[in-house]
Structure formats: structure tokens, C-alpha cells
Structure 1
Amino acid sequence: MNKLVVVSAGLSVPSSTRLLGDRLAAATAARTGAEIQVIEVRDLAVEIAHNLTNGFPGPALATALDAVTEADGLIVVTPVFSASYSGLFKSFFDVLGARDKDALAGKPVLVAATGGTARHSLVLEHALRPLFAYLRAVVVPTGVYAASEDWGAEGLPERVERAAGELAALMTGLSARPPAARREADGFTVVPFEEQLAALRT
């Protein structure tokens, strides 16, 4: 079974950031049957701070880092602070990168964010997408931003479904099966992603 991990950097309880992550995860799991695990970064704040100063993760942080590293797909959701991702969100991935620079290499990632106004929607393109491109993740084309006025309005459910479909397609390509496996979809031959990577290496 595929494993889907959600990293939520929401600070409040309940959190619109967590709600968006849950919706994206449910839509992705509906297509893949993946097992969902949610990591609330706020619960790891103290251990993240200690790791940044002493270089050693506490037990809860180590478990979370292992979950992200072993995931078949990743959904990352952050609230917007000062037109960018939160510092705690960035610190979590700084710790992950310091521990294993290849942890996200080739991993399908769906980026999402929440904020009080639609004016911050470009955070997906100028902050989140470059961060995960630097970590060599495979970021799905559709990012999802939800402003306060988007909840219950038209448009958000469609963006959630489109992004989830893209992530599910990548996760399906990365699932364990023979390297030569192919499947036909709408008249096109779909090549598993790991086989495409292998072809590039050779």
C-alpha cells in the first residue's frame, strides 16, 4: 500500500491549514488507496529547535523525518507569514535536508498554503515551489492556495481535485512494480516514473 504523508504547519486548533491538508489527502487517497499519516509541525517545535542547535533529533522528530523520507507521496501545507512560508515549516525541512540531502529526491510533492487574503497566492510559486525544487522533489503542476473567502466558495474543490489527481498519478507511477511495467490510459502509454529516472541516468 502506498504511504501518503501530510506535513501541516498550522498553529491554531482547529487550523484551516490542517483542514486543507486533510481535504487534499482524502482526495488523493480516494484515487490511490494510500495510507495517510499527518505530521503537525507545531507539535515538533521544541525538538526542531534542539536539533538546529545540537544536530540530534528527538524521538518524535526522528519518527516524523523517517515518515517523510519513506513516503510515496507528500502533501505540504503552510500558513502564509510575511508573504512566505512559516519559519517553523522551513525549519522542519532544513532539519530534514541536513539529515539526508536526498530525502526528497524524486519524491512527488503537492504544495499548498492558506492565508487571509488571495493577494498571497503567489507564495506557491515564489516560495514553496523553489524550496522543493531545490530539495529535488517532483512538485505537481497544480498548487492549492486557500484564502479565507475560498472556504465554501466555488473553485477550491475543483483545485483540490485537480492537484490530488496529479499527485495520485505520480504516486501510482512510483509504486512498486516491475520496471518494465506499462499501462494504457486514454490511448497513451504511461511509463513509471522510476523508469524514466533510470533512463535519464543512463
Structure 2
Amino acid sequence: MSVRVAVVSAGLSQPSTSRMLAEQIANAVSAQVSARGEAAEVEFIELRELAQELATTMVTGGLPTPAVAAARDVLANADALVAVSPTFTASYSGLFKMFFDVLDPDTLRNVPTIVGATAGTARHSLVLDFAMRPLFTYLHALVVPTGVFAATEDFGGGADGAGLAGRVRQAASELVTQVMQAGSAVGGFVQSDADLTRRVSGNQLGATPDFASLLKGHAGSL
């Protein structure tokens, strides 16, 4: 079994603490997957590089650019998600929100997810529970109990279990446990595909109805 992990980082600077945190979490997830005898395929989506593409997508009525379409496909095919944003005005960044606004509502349905955030001070840590969890709950993702918040002082600290490294390991363990349980579900005890809403990227266009179908039953009067 190969576990596909999508990692979304919304840091604006380079280097970025949000990217650093995303990498720590991704490495912990990979280690947890490997410890269970499986392989992890990790793919990063750096939103800083997609900023102009996302703006173009938004102002063209949601028509994705090729780069945005590719990012949406990554999430639609992922078995797990790690999403990290810097904290701006007590919430996630506008760039982070813009990316998840252009997703199909079913892209992340039932996807095990770790939410993470960074800020200059630990006073912003509630951003995980009051901003990020509601967003991913709306998108029907399965957010693991442990969120990972990192203030500036957390970077460069020791690997004590009560510190950042411990939170990262705990969140990774919860995520991989969810992924493995979903991958080894016993037949007959899970809903069939027909009973579940299928995950889609939103890039697929449905068939365009012809004019005869559109005008069916129209009497011609206004």
C-alpha cells in the first residue's frame, strides 16, 4: 500500500516557518507510514507559487489555470492532507482561503487531515480550533484531534515530548492510523461506492446540453 500525502503550505516568505512546519509534519507522517511497512508519496503544494494563478482563477469565474487544475488533482487523489497556514488577523491567510475556495466541495470528503498554523506568539494558537477546523469540517475532511501550532519560539527547541516535536509526532500518528483503518476496512461493513459521494477535483466538465433539451417544453412566449 502506498499512501499519497498532499501537503499545502501557505507561507509567504522564503524561507517560511509555515513551510518548515509543513515539512516537519510531512516527515513525521512518512516515518509513521514506513514504521507500518508501507510507503509514503509526499507532494507539496506551495501556495506562494500559485498566488497569481489563484487570483486569475477567481476573477474568471472559477475557471482554473493549468497550475491550479494540477493542484486540485493532487488533492483529489490524496489519501491524506497536511495543511499549514501563517496566522493573519486571528485567522488563516487570504491566500490559504483562496486556494480552498477554488476546490470542489467534495474534493476532501473523508480525507484524514492535519491542520497546522504558525505565528509570532503562542497567543494565536486558537486559530486551529476557531478558524481552521470549521473550514475543513465544512469541506467534509476528517481532521485529526491534534492540531499543530508553532510560535517563533518553538523552532530550534528541544525534542521534548511536550514540545513541538511531540505534537507533530502525535498528529502524524493519528493521521496514519486513520489512513490505515480506511485502507483495511472489512468488506460488508463499509458503504458501497454507490452510497458515497465520489471525490472529484472539479476539473472535469460535464456534457453540455443541446439547445433542444434546454428549450424543451418552452412555448415560445415571454
Give the TM-score category using the shorter length.
0.7 to 0.9
Counting aligned pairs with the same residue, the percent is 50
Q: Write out per-residue CA displacement over residues 69-123 of structure 1, whole angstroms, 9 at most, x where no aligned residue.
A: 1100000000000010000000000001xxx221111111100000000000000
Change (3 A) 1:178 1:122: closer
In the other structure, the counterpart of 2:150 is: 146
In the other structure, the counterpart of 1:93 is: 100
Q: Write out per-residue CA displacement over residues 6-49 of structure 1, whole angstroms, 9 at most, x where no aligned residue.
A: 00000111111001000101110112121000000011111111
CA distance in 2, matches of 1:123, 1:34: 29
Change (3 A) 1:197 1:8: farther
Aligned match for 1:169, one of 160, 164, 177: 177
Which residue identity lines up with residue 94 of structure 1 in the other structure? Answer: D
Which structure has the larger Rg over C-alpha atoms? 2
Question: 4+ runs of 1 displaced by more than 4 Å?
Answer: 195-198
Pairs within 5 Å for 1:19-58: 19-32=20-33, 33-54=39-60, 55-58=62-65
Normalized per residue, the structure richer in helix is 1
Say whether the 8 Å CA contact 1:109–1:138 is kept in structure 2: yes
In the other structure, the counterpart of 2:214 is: none
In the other structure, the counterpart of 2:113 is: 109
For structure 2, the 5+ residue unaligned runs are 34-38, 197-222
Secondary structure of the equivalent of 1:35?
strand
Secondary structure of the equivalent of 2:171?
helix
Say whether the 8 Å CA contact 1:72–1:174 is kept in structure 2: no
In the other structure, the counterpart of 1:12 is: 13
CA distance in 1, matches of 2:97, 2:137: 14
Q: Count the aligned residue pairs.
A: 183
Secondary structure of the equivalent of 1:127?
helix
Aligned match for 2:90, one of 83, 88, 113: 83
For structure 1, the 5+ residue unaligned runs are 182-194
Q: 1:174 offset after TM fit, Å? A: 2.5
Q: 1:159 offset after TM fit, Å? A: 0.3
CA distance in 1, matches of 2:118, 2:185: 39
